[in-house]
Amino acid sequence: MRITNLRATPLAVPFRQPERWAFGTRSGLVSILVEVETDDGVTGIGEAAAYPSADIVLAVLRSLEDLVVGEDPMRIERLSKRIELVGTWHHVKASSPAIAAVEMACWDIVGKICGQPLVNLFGGRVRDEVEFFYYLSQQAPAQMAVDAAHGADEGFRTFYLKVGADDPALDIARVEAVRDGAGADALIRVDANESWSSGAAIRIIKQMEPFGLELVEQPVSGRNLQEMAYVRARVDTPILANEASWTRYDQLEVIRHGAADAVSLDNQMDGGLLNLKRGAGLCEVAGLPVLKHSLGELGVAVCAAVHVLASTPNFLPASQSYASFLLDDILADASPLPYKSGRLRVPTEPGIGVRLDKERVEKYAELYQRGARAFAFADSEAMVATPVLPKS
Ligand SMILES: [Mg+2]
């Protein structure tokens, strides 16, 4: 079997409410649907987040054509090495989502050829459902309490909010409001996205701790692992690495420095599903739990990852998703994705186990072509307001 064609379709899907963080606001997300066609007639589907932009993902996909067309999609290790070494795409991160989408589509082909859902090819189920968190948009505390109560009513147990505001008192008030809205049993996870100095991090985390935190994500720079370890040693709340742990090489350094209690992994930022499994294994032998980070994904990418999350023991219960934002999706019979109590069941059909809704794909491809500027974080207002980091 040989790959005959790569087809890329950028899609723009609106959010129910704007996503706001320290560096911008977006009102929907852009993802690139990748279809890998073969001379066998089997087509694999994958998806790349538009990171750092849709144009860059599309350019990387065009560059990959010569390396991929004519290759056997079942030989995924060989294909990945060919892209990395022959194609000199070893400068990962910016190129990674496009590479990961091709790898994802090849896994979909493997599953379809074998007649098995991917979970059975990645080690088999250790859980039947995978849990995700409820992502709260940054708003006034009272509104966040209402949103958190809504998420709790829908059955989500873990709540995630961005912190690192110019006024730390506002962050603390937001955590208090989320506790009020989500209830006493909810898990609250805060993400500072590297905003704080180590001194600020310790001071602010200690003021948030009375409201009960599950994890603090990336309180200080992810490029300064000694500072992460310094903060970790001085607060009671476990520290979650994210900007420090994009690739397996980064994850190894986090482990070596004792910089975190838990580690975010992202198959889109580390070249594919196989590397997601490898990263989890690396952390497992170091005694650390992991969770899946999301750059913002539609149902193809979410369901592809669900197979790995369901077959890998050391994933923490709640991984990241955009369940609280996405108005719609592109899957037949599953748009939006059917989260039940914050959980998705592992697909049972061969491969990733999802089918595209062609009408929705066309609709959101048209929306992208009409102009998806509001779907990128690069808004001029936030660029002006971008603070100098770290905050002390
Ligand atoms: Mg993060």
**Domain limits, the chain:** 3-115+360-370, 119-355
Alpha carbon of 71 to ligand 1 centroid (Å) = 36
Q: Residue 134 burial (CB < 10 Å; 0-12/13-18/19+)?
A: buried
Q: Residue holding tokens 């701790």? A: 209
- Residue 330 is predicted with a pLDDT of 98
In the prediction, which pLDDT does 87 show? 79
| pLDDT score at 337 | 95
CB 170 within 8 A of CB 359: no
CA of 134 to the centre of ligand 1 (A): 14
Q: Cα–Cα distance between 50 and 56 in angstroms, integer?
A: 8
- Is this prediction's pTM over 0.75? yes
pLDDT at 318: 96
Q: How many CB atoms sit inside 10 A of residue 193's CB?
A: 18
Tokens coding 157: 């147990």
CA of 111 to the centre of ligand 1 (A): 31
Mean pLDDT of 259-281: 97
Alpha-helix residue ranges (DSSP H) falling in the chain: 54-68, 76-81, 96-114, 118-121, 141-153, 168-182, 198-208, 225-232, 248-257, 273-285, 299-310, 358-370, 380-385
Q: What is the DSSP string of 244-300?
A: T-SSHHHHHHHHHHT--SEEEE-TTTTTSHHHHHHHHHHHHHTT--EEE--SS--HH
pLDDT band, very low/low/confident/very high, at 301 (cuts 50, 70, 90): very high
Å from CA of 193 to ligand 1 middle: 6
Chain segment 78-104, per-residue pLDDT in tens: 999 999 888 777 666 788 999 999 999
Alpha carbon of 160 to ligand 1 centroid (Å): 10
Distance (angstroms) between ligand 1 centre and the Cα of 106 equals: 28
CA of 59 to the centre of ligand 1 (A): 26
Residue 333 Cα to ligand 1 middle (Å): 30
Residue 380 has pLDDT above 60, yes or no: no
Give the confidence band of 308 by pLDDT, cuts at 50, 70, 90: very high
Q: What's the 217 CA to ligand 1 centre distance in angstroms? A: 6
242 alpha carbon to ligand 1 midpoint, in Å? 5
Name the fold adopted by 119-355: TIM Barrel (3.20.20)
- 25: exposed, middle or buried (Cβ count in 10 Å: 0-12, 13-18, 19+): middle
**pLDDT over 70 (residue 389):** yes
- The CA 331 to ligand 1 mean position distance, Å, reads 26
Which architecture characterizes domain 3-115+360-370 according to CATH?
2-Layer Sandwich (3.30)
Amino acid in the structure at residue 149: A
| Spacing, Cα 224 to ligand 1 middle (Å) | 16
What is the pLDDT at residue 387? 58
Please list, in sequence order, all residues whose beta carbon lies within 8 angstroms of the beta carbon of residue 207, skipping any fewer than 6 positions away.
168, 172
Q: What angle do CA 178, 183, 184 make, to 5 degrees?
A: 110
Measured CA to CA in angstroms, residue 273 lies from 101, 146, 227, 299 at distances of 9, 36, 30, 15
Q: How far is the CA of 243 from the centre of ligand 1 (A)?
A: 7
Query: How many angstroms is it from 155 CA to the middle of ligand 1?
Result: 23
